[in-house]
Structure 1
Amino acid sequence: MTQRDFAHFVAIDWSGAVGERQKGIAVAVAAADGGPPTLIERSKPWARTEILGWLHDGLPDNSLVGLDLGISLPFVDCGAYFPGNDRSPSDAKALWRLVDDVCDTDDHFAASSFTDHSSFAPYFRRHGGREGPMFRCDEASHGRGRFRVTEHAQAAMGCKPYSNFNLVGAAQVGKSSLTGMRLLNRLNRPASVWPIDEVSESGPVIVEIYTALASMAAGRSASRSKIRNFKDLDVALEALGSPPLRRKGPIDDHASDALLAAAWLRKVAKFDELWHPPALTPAIARTEGWTFGAI
């Protein structure tokens, strides 16, 4: 089974930044029976641990949840997450456990203990010009670090992905990925994480998303994927067949990313081809996962 008739479509714009509460986290929900997507309003910013609690206690069972983070690290390019390392796991779920175990004393699902660990630091590009000797072990000419197969698919669609081993600058996607792996490892309620798991007949289904794909589906270019006012957001929502919000003024791009991605998931979840990208094999599903919508 690869898809279901979901009742709710949830998009979570994630953040791997340092600290307890993150202004970069936003959660939006779109109902299958219509209406504009809604943002879960907060009196204070989300903590990553609160997202875990909400997924346990506040999420309806029949939900498709998009997490804007990489659910695994590159494996296929070098035959391992950490080539030449005896501690390199064999699949994504073992990777989640390893990251969470090494970072057990890091508060707020932080992952600094992992990226600074002598066994794993050589594979990352870190702040202060500290590029590990294994960061470019794929010897790719683009120099942005190792890619999963799904990142190559994103690039073919016109996106500019960066490696989940990169921890520096605006493209420091590695921090989001590693903190997200800690959340996934601690998710106790029955939930499928596609494509690592088969899509179950009941319970929530979690997929990795890249919010730029939602913007591109709404007619925006990858370089103009960020939306910072309600007027542009309404145009994008209507392009996806969603009712607009009809609000005025600015909106932060984390909230707009979540709102647009929730509407996008509602529109495209029924497309069978998105659950069967041509390059996705069982081995890739087990080790690297995939970005929903990358084909």
Structure 2
Amino acid sequence: MTPFTHFAAIDWSGAVGPRQKGLAVALCTIGSEAPVRVRPGHVWSRGEVLGWLDREMPRDTLVGLDLGPSLPFVDAGAFFPGWRESPADARGLWALVERLCADDPHLAASSFVDHPQAARHFRRHGGRTGDKFGVGRGRLRVTELAQRAQGLNPYSNLNLVGAAQVGKSSLTGMRVLHRLAGRVPVWPFDSAPPRGPLIVEIYTSLAARDAGRPKGRSKMTTIAALNAALTHPAIGSAPVPGDGAIDDHGADALLTAAWLRANAHRAALWQPHDLTPQIAQTEGWTFGVV
């Protein structure tokens, strides 16, 4: 029996500015009722999402954040090989990002990627690829290698370029996780508590795949497509009301909240084969990847 009574999914954004249209928050309860948007029609700021996580969400909530809570470590034995300030674990990484970005407004992380040492590890716009970025798509975490083995299409959290970039979302999310320290645990950096709340990393494409969406077509832009995914036997949710168009960020959040509800009870998802104690403290893991 899952200890959670509510399940939330947050489609995150690393975009610059006070509010981000790419932010979406969805919530559902135990059972099969359709998930709902939290503050529908509202354009969230990252600070508002932080406040919701810290003070407003229902107490026993399992929250999925669609971002990378850490960077590759295992492949090179460090987050930033050759940099004396390279932290020993993920919480140290969150603290470093927060410290270097203290003057960045709206929980942005521009100062971190512009730091002369950190920049060597990122692929940035304008053809600026750091000499330590790696080859191809860049360095991957162990959980991302496992994602690829499951037929998914992960990119490095050190990539800051293009539609597939996940680095900016990850770095801005680390500032949020740092500020929640001691109040909301984050799996697997923290053990899953007997009662909520708890944050996990999610990959919305995994939820879409399980809901029958074709590979390469995980995004849903109509209520009909979303409801076909929600009512898939693997998800088991009632459909959301209405018809017509829906933004893909909201659709991702709604489906993934229902996916979390359908999968939170599965013991194997909390005990991935390749999740070692070292990885749990450095790179973390994507919930649902085994």
Do they fold alike, i.e. is TM over 0.5? yes
In the alignment, which residue of structure 1 is the partner of 2:262? 267
What is the distance in 2 between the residues matched to 1:97 and 1:263? Answer: 32
In the alignment, which residue of structure 1 is the partner of 2:272? 277
What is the distance in 1 between the residues matched to 2:114 and 2:181? Answer: 28
Q: Structure 2 residue aligned with 1:106, among 104, 107, 124? A: 104
SS in 1 for 2:216: helix
Contact 1:56/1:189 (<8 A) preserved: no
**TM-score, normalised via structure 1 length:** 0.95
Q: Structure 2 residue aligned with 1:200, among 190, 193, 210? A: 193
1:228 aligns with 2:221: yes
Contact 1:190/1:203 (<8 A) preserved: no
Deviation of 1:189 after TM superposition, in Å, equals: 6.0
State the one-letter code of the partner of 1:83: P
State the one-letter code of the partner of 2:247: D
What is the distance in 2 between the residues matched to 1:274 and 1:232? Answer: 27
What is the distance in 2 between the residues matched to 1:293 and 1:134? Answer: 30
Deviation of 1:195 after TM superposition, in Å, equals: 0.5
1:249 aligns with 2:244: yes
State the percentage of identical aligned residues: 58
Contact 1:9/1:63 (<8 A) preserved: yes
Contact 2:9/2:64 (<8 A) preserved: yes
1:169 aligns with 2:162: yes
Runs of 4+ in 1 over 3 A off after TM superposition: none
In the alignment, which residue of structure 2 is the partner of 1:154? 147
1:133-155 C-alpha deviation (Å, 9 max, x unpaired): 0000xx5xxx0000000001111
**TM-score, normalised via structure 2 length:** 0.97
What is the distance in 1 between the residues matched to 2:107 and 2:199? Answer: 19
Deviation of 1:34 after TM superposition, in Å, equals: 3.1
Aligned residues: 288
Structure 1: 5+ residue runs without aligned partners? Answer: none
Contact 2:62/2:196 (<8 A) preserved: no
C-alpha RMSD of matched pairs (Å): 1.2
Deviation of 1:42 after TM superposition, in Å, equals: 4.2
Cα 1:164/1:232, change in 2 over 3 Å = same
